[in-house]
Amino acid sequence: MKLIREEIESVKFLVETTKSGKKSLYIEGVFLQGEIKNRNGRMYPMETLRREVSRYNEAHVQAGRALGELGHPDGPTVNLDRVSHKIVSLKESGSNFVGKAKILNTPMGKIASSLIEEGVKLGVSSRGIGSLRTTKEGTNIVGDDFMLATAADIVADPSAPDAFVEGIMEGKEWVWEGGILREKYAEQTKRRINTLVDQKVLEEHKLNLFNDFLNNL
């Protein structure tokens, strides 16, 4: 499965005040788009998104642990030391899924708040893993094995008018192994090296193993 990220810039930043006078900063807007070929040449079937959003809402949003990071993590897991916000809702609206997230009082949340207050243009980026199937027309259809890591990370958006990718680790594949997401080829290479007990055999195979690893990045 590939790590897939899509950026969307059309989000709003809202300040809400409670009765006690406490102010909270929120992000609100389209977090996910379905049934449309985006600038990355990918298309998410609505049934795939609907199923995964339902799972994500139940397992993460409703449980109060739908977290997102500031910036672009290089893997499919959420790093707690980089968490900047908590997603509080994610609802279907036409072919989109509209989300709302609260900026948290964490180190990264404080940085995000400062950037917003200073007028820095920010967007959101969904992050997940899944397989891709290419059609004859060249569209990459996201498979029904798609799983969301987070509906929204906060990212700097330099130019795009709608959804685009900041980065997809195209060559890296992620697999479930013992309940843990692992980077496929890194783990395979490590295991193969560990099986080469004899030092002479190891030396003979080391370069080939390394070349195989690089070719799969």
Read off the pLDDT of residues 121-148 as tens digits, 9 standing for 90 and up.
888 999 999 999 999 999 999 999 999 9
What per-residue confidence (pLDDT) applies to 171?
A: 41
pLDDT tens, residue by residue, 33-73: 999 998 888 999 999 999 999 999 999 999 999 999 998 88
Active-site residues: which are they?
72, 125
pLDDT tens, residue by residue, 80-94: 999 999 999 999 999
Least confident of 81-90, 93-102, 149-158, 164-173: 164-173
pLDDT of residue 158 exceeding 50: no
pLDDT of residue 203 exceeding 80: no
Where are the domains positioned within the chain?
2-167, 180-215
What per-residue confidence (pLDDT) applies to 195?
A: 56
Give DSSP secondary structure letters for the chain: -EEEEEEE--EEEEEEE-TT--EEEEEEEEEEE-SS--TTSEE--HHHHHHHHHHHIIIIITTT--EEEBS--SSSS--GGGEEEEEEEEEEETTEEEEEEEEPSSHHHHHHHHHHHTT--EEEEEEEEE-EEE-TTS-EEEPTT-EEEEEEEEEE--S-SS-B-S---TT-BEEEETTEEEEHHHHHHHHHHHH--SHHHHHHHHHHHHHHHHHT-
User: What is this structure's pTM?
Assistant: 0.74
What per-residue confidence (pLDDT) applies to 202?
A: 52
